[in-house]
Amino acid sequence: MSSTVDKIKGLANEAAGNVKQGIGKATDNERLQADGKAQEVKGEGQQLKGDAKKAAGDAADAVKGKV
């Protein structure tokens, strides 16, 4: 997967997780809140993975003299 795809999936998971947390709070559903938090954290991790891939690609390009 490309860094952009990882970032997009991460943002989507983060958004969905936040929605789940909000619904869980509104309905006093602790399990839904926990599931939402887990999905939010997963999304944050995916975004970090995308950032790392981009940084690695940028570094490789710099070494090759493409920057």
Tens digits of residue pLDDT in 11-38: 999 999 999 999 999 999 999 999 999 9
* pLDDT score of 66: 64
State how far Cα 53 lies from the chain centre.
13
Confidence (pTM): 0.82
Confidence of residue 67 (pLDDT cuts 50, 70, 90): low
Give me the domain span that covers residue 14.
Answer: 3-64
User: Whole-angstrom Cα distance, residue 14 to residue 35?
Assistant: 11
Number of domains in the chain: 1
* pLDDT score of 55: 92
Q: Which two tokens stand for residue 56?
A: 């690695």
